[in-house]
A and B are shown apart, each in its own frame.
Chain A
């Protein structure tokens, strides 16, 4: 595993991976979307249940990418792998995008189901805070000029966030029971049937493949960017 930590080896090993993963992504999305639209209507929610196939995988990814970010930050901080740092940097905007997607589609789903665009429900609130975490991470990274220092400070923040997310989740749950939400229909899941579960899982895989494709592409871009910066510095030094 650590053999791949060398950026050059990683580049060589994964040169073709984005193309392959991209094809897999497209295939999975085609299958997932087809299955989503052919799935039977929910007896309660009607056609709006199809929003679930876009929304639920996005919220899975929102959490998964944060754990990826935390893992990369750990390796970047403890073992000082520049590749792990590049991977963390590349993961953050993707995670923020998935979180935002989850929030927006959740809001669009909430309108027909709950009759409101936004409900301060425990799950929505903690996803919103997760989104703020991503923003904080990117803001910290962007505002320190020295790349290395920015990476390490942001890694500390990502790890602090990793410790804090369960606490926040707990506190929001606690807050929610305190307030006894009156209008929220609990997400009506009378134990999901297979004809809804299959498209959901396929869409979940498609999202995951999409994330890995984009992630590897942006890690490549990040490594090339660093090389270009190093070359520019060298050229400036020689001139």
Chain B
């Protein structure tokens, strides 16, 4: 357990430290949010219709940014070999990496999400739900994304590859999260969407570490 915590803290420090992508992802998110009104027009009514959905997609895309280095840096400098030899199973390593990815990248994005939703014509009443959906969805994004990063180990052009591999898997959380937000704005029952989103994220936490560990073993073999 202490090993797991140490690993988690290390991942967190790396993500927040120099060259980490956490703040970069937030900046990227802000840039996309700023481009949306330029593309669809600043009319509040129009923006209010597409805004929350686009903000949600921007969130999904922003989580992709910091994935490329997640496994690749440890693969290049040999840390991954050491981790594979160590007492902690690779599944737990994948879990620690996913959790750190979520805390370092998903949390700031979840804080930024209500802000962006507000700028894009979301109603203030929806802000708590926006935050909750971004936080819960970010968990699923982080874990599925880190699995994609592990699969792309040793590939040429890893970054784009991760996006191509992972984005189809992002369909359900995008649907559920945006669906919950939309249902809320329309005054309908938003709970099913949020519940499905939570279910997807938890399933991702439970299952993707195994796939990621298999991918890492394969890359190291």
Could you list which residues of chain A lie within 8 angstroms of chain B, going by C-beta atoms?
Answer: 77, 129, 132-133, 135-136, 139-140, 143-146, 149, 152-153, 156-157, 159-161, 163-164, 167-168, 170-172, 174-175, 178
Contact = CB atoms under 8 A, between A and B. Distances in A.
B168 A153 contact: no
A189 B201 CA distance: 38
B151 A156 contact: yes
B154 A144 contact: yes
B196 A160 contact: no
Interface stretch (B27-35, B107-115, B129-137, B171-179): B171-179
B211 A168 contact: no
A171 B171 contact: yes
Contact of B219 (A136, A149, A163, A172): A149
B214 interface: yes
A157 B221 CA distance: 18
Given A135-B164, A163-B207, A149 B154 contact: yes
A99 to B, nearest CB: 12
Contacts of B218: 149, 152-153, 156
A160 B147 contact: yes
A168 B172 contact: yes
B164 A139 contact: yes
Contacts of A139: 161, 164-165
Chain A CB count within 10 A is highest, among B147, B152, B172, B211, for B172
B18 interface: no
A149 B221 contact: yes
A174 B175 CA distance: 8
A87 B173 CA distance: 32
Interface size class of B (residues with CB under 8 A): 20 to 34
Interface of B: 147, 151-157, 161, 164-165, 167-169, 171-172, 175-176, 179, 182-183, 192, 196, 200, 207-208, 211, 214-215, 218-219, 221
B207 A129 contact: no
A171 B215 contact: no
B172 A157 contact: no
A161 B172 CA distance: 13
Contacts of A161: 168-169
Contacts of B147: 160
Given A140-B161, A143-B161, A164 B155 contact: no
Contacts of B200: 167
A152 B218 CA distance: 7
B179 A153 contact: no
B217 to A, nearest CB: 9
Contact of B171 (A136, A144, A168): A168
A152 B219 CA distance: 9
Given A140-B161, A143-B161, A152-B218, A171 B176 contact: yes
Nearest to B178: A175
B151 A153 contact: yes
A172 B167 CA distance: 15
13 contacts: A135-B164, A136-B165, A140-B161, A143-B152, A144-B155, A145-B154, A146-B154, A156-B215, A160-B208, A160-B211, A163-B207, A172-B171, A174-B196
B157 A175 contact: no
B184 to A, nearest CB: 12
B219 A174 contact: no
A156 B168 CA distance: 15
A76 to B, nearest CB: 11
B86 to A, nearest CB: 22
A175 B196 CA distance: 12
Contacts of A136: 164-165, 168
Contacts of B211: 156, 159-160
A140 B214 contact: no
A171 B179 CA distance: 10
B182 A178 contact: yes
Q: Which 6 A-B residue pairings sit nearest by Cβ, starting from the closest?
A: A171-B172, A143-B155, A132-B168, A152-B218, A175-B175, A171-B175
Contacts of B156: 143-145
A137 to B, nearest CB: 8
A146 to B, nearest CB: 7
